[in-house]
Amino acid sequence: MNQTQFTTAIQSHAAHLISHALKFTGDEDNAKDLVQETLIKSIRFAEKFEEGTNLKGWLFVIMRNTYINSYNKQARRNSIFIIEDELSSAQLMKTASRNQGEAIFATEDINRAMASIKPEYSNAFRKYFEGYKYEEIAQEMQLPLGTVKTYIHQARLGLKKYRQAKLWLLINFSLLNFEK
């Protein structure tokens, strides 16, 4: 079958292709676009068609694959936008500029909290917070393992008391200003 005969043969199936494409797309314009893409692909790959086989079935397979590929492509495109529209606060922290005054204030507050507990508790807790294991801290500080665990526990309690005291001050200060 030469190119002209092949083109004529596929054109004879165009009406069937349009009705089938409507089932995929649900829209007449999109169905016509799908049929056009199908016909273009069938002409481009005409040499792969085996004469004597079902031409209409071959065209339907091309149409189905074309539709699935375009659907998946559109789904990937949409998923990218959804991800960008729904940025988490962790992602924003990586990209957003930070308020240096707020960072300095937080750092100073953490340093004051750490200074409010005993230095041996603070050192053990800092090492633990940095990711060291209890055994590593005990070895570095030359202390028994139980003592290191106690220091870290005491540091947590001390930091908790500091936070509660600070909260108490904030509440009382707010109440004083509210009463004025």
The CATH classification number of 3-85 equals: 1.10.1740.10
Task: Please tell me the distance from the alpha carbon of residue 74 to that of residue 63, in angstroms, as a whole number.
Answer: 16
Domain ranges of the chain: 3-85, 98-179
The residue whose two tokens read 């071959």 is 58
Q: What is the mean pLDDT of residues 157-174?
A: 80
CATH fold label, 98-179: Arc Repressor Mutant, subunit A (1.10.10)
The pTM score is 0.44
Residue 67 zone, left/alpha/beta (φ > 0; ψ -120 to 50; rest)? alpha
Asked if 33 contacts 20 with a C-beta cutoff of 8 angstroms, the reply is: no
Q: What is the residue-wise DSSP string for 108-151?
A: HHHHHHHHTS-HHHHHHHHHHHTT--HHHHHHHHT--HHHHHHH
User: Taking residues 25-37, what's their average pLDDT?
Assistant: 89
Q: Looking at per-residue confidence, does 10 or 136 come out higher?
A: 136
Q: Which structure tokens are listed for 50?
A: 């085996």
Residue 178 has pLDDT above 60, yes or no: no
Q: What's the pLDDT tens digit per position in 72-125?
A: 888 877 766 545 555 566 655 655 555 676 777 777 888 888 888 999 999 999
- Rounded distance, CA 128 to CA 173, Å? 34
